[in-house]
């Protein structure tokens, strides 16, 4: 476990204790030499800091060890370079390890394919009062999926409504951000037609969901060919 003292590191160590067949071979954080501990592990799980990623990947490539990477915060240029390195070993790299959110992506994609434009798509997300950005990255990804499957453009996104807006057009995809309290993260995609409405909702209440996804990825990645995978691969959600 690389980044073992952090919030995610601790959550993963706890989750491993209650997962059959999984054992934390070594806990590595600042001040502990990963190179001295790497041989005893079948796979490295990394939730640490963006600046640690390159060194970690170089060592994993040298030792031929599979990786599960949850660390975020790399610039797009860094990501290009890092992906070249990561592709040389089996790597699961995902910005969101929640199994539920990844299934929500898949279900949103299927619903967008199956339901006609008669079904108005609207996305609502809610997060705690301390969140500094809107909409959430997960909501933005959901919108991207709907736009792509409906052949719409980013300019068809409608962030909130106010005043005399006129009737809703079929092309628009509504996006609404609620803020308050200590809500960890909630996302709903609605498809509303005349006579019925389908709602796909995910509610996160504990970072344990990310830990469970990371452990599931670690079990899955061992034995896969070298290359970069995401949670959709782990969950078998790719067509």
What residues are annotated to the active site? Answer: 127, 131
Cβ neighbours of 61 (radius 10 Å): 17
| Residue carrying the six token digits 């990501």 | 79
Backbone angles phi, psi at 46, to 5 degrees: -125, 115
Pick between residue 68 and residue 147 the one whose CB is nearest to ligand NAD: 68
Which residue number, 143 or 209, has a Cβ lying nearer to ligand NAD?
209
Q: Would you give the binding string for ligand NAD spanning residues 127-166, x where CB under 6 A is met?
A: ----------------------------------------
- Distance between CA 192 and CA 198 in Å, rounded? 6
Site for ligand NAD contains 91 (CB under 6 A)? no
Pick from 1, 16, 48, 108: which binds ligand NAD (CB under 6 A)? Answer: 48
CA distances (Å), origin 87, targets 63, 67, 215 = 14, 10, 20
3 sits near ligand NAD (criterion: CB under 6 A)? yes
Instruction: Rule CB under 6 A: choose which of 95, 106, 115, 172 binds ligand NAD.
Output: 95
- Least CB distance to ligand NAD at residue 135 (A): 17
Asked if residues 90 and 221 have their Cβ atoms less than 8 Å apart, the reply is: yes
Number of residues lying near ligand NAD (CB under 6 A): 23
Burial (CB count within 10 angstroms: exposed 0-12, middle 13-18, buried 19+), residue 232: middle
- Cα angle: 37, vertex 38, 40; to 5 degrees: 80
Q: Which of residues 201-230 bind ligand NAD (CB under 6 A)?
A: 210
Contact set with ligand NAD (CB under 6 A): 2-3, 5-9, 28-30, 47-49, 52, 70-73, 94-97, 210
């Amino acid at each position: 476990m690389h980044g073992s003292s952090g919030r995610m590191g601790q959550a993963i160590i706890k989750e491993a204790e209650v997962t059959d067949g999984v054992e934390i071979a070594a806990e590595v954080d600042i001040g502990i030499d990963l190179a001295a501990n790497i041989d005893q592990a079948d796979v490295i799980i990394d939730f640490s800091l963006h600046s640690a990623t390159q060194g970690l990947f170089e060592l994993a490539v040298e030792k031929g060890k599979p990786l599960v990477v949850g660390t975020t915060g790399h610039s797009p240029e860094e990501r290009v370079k890092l992906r070249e390195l990561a592709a040389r070993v089996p790597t699961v790299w995902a910005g969101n390890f929640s199994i539920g959110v990844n299934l929500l992506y898949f279900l949103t994609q299927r619903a967008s394919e199956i339901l006609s434009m008669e079904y108005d798509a609207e996305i609502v997300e809610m997060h705690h009062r301390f969140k500094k950005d809107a909409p959430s990255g997960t909501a933005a990804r959901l919108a991207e999926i709907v736009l792509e499957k409906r052949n719409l453009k980013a300019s068809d996104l409608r962030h909130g409504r106010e005043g005399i807006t006129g009737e809703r057009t079929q092309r628009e995809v509504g996006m609404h951000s609620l803020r308050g309290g200590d809500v960890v993260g909630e996302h709903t995609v609605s498809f509303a037609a005349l006579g019925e409405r389908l709602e796909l909702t995910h509610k996160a209440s504990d970072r344990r969901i990310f830990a469970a996804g990371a452990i599931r990825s670690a079990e899955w990645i061992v034995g896969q060919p070298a290359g970069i995978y995401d949670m959709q691969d782990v969950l078998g959600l790719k067509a």
